[in-house]
Amino acid sequence: MSEAKKPKPPKQKQARWWTGRIVEKRTVRIRVDQDLCMASQSCIALAPKVFKIDWSKRKSAFEGAPIEVMDEKAADNETIFLAAQSCPWQAIILEDANTGERLFP
In a domain, 90, yes or no: yes
In a domain, 76, yes or no: yes
Q: What Cα–Cα distance (Å) separates residue 88 from each residue in 10, 40, 42, 80, 84?
A: 35, 8, 9, 15, 9
Q: Would you give the DSSP letter of residue 70?
A: S
- Residue 22: its pLDDT value, please? 63
In a domain, 5, yes or no: no
Give the largest CA-CA distance in the chain. Answer: 79
The pTM of the whole model exceeds 0.85: no
Whether 32 has a pLDDT exceeding 90, the answer reads yes
- Residue 61: its pLDDT value, please? 72
In a domain, 16, yes or no: no
Q: What is the CATH number of the domain that holds 39?
A: 3.30.70.20
Expressed as residue numbers, the domain containing 70 is 30-104
Identify the residue with better confidence: 60 or 75. 75
Range in 1-5, 36-40, 50-54, 78-82 the model is least confident about:
1-5
Q: Would you give the DSSP letter of residue 57?
A: G
In a domain, 60, yes or no: yes
In a domain, 94, yes or no: yes
* Number of compact structural domains in the chain: 1
In a domain, 11, yes or no: no
Distance CA 105, CA 94 (A): 7
Gyration radius of the chain over CA positions: 18
In a domain, 51, yes or no: yes
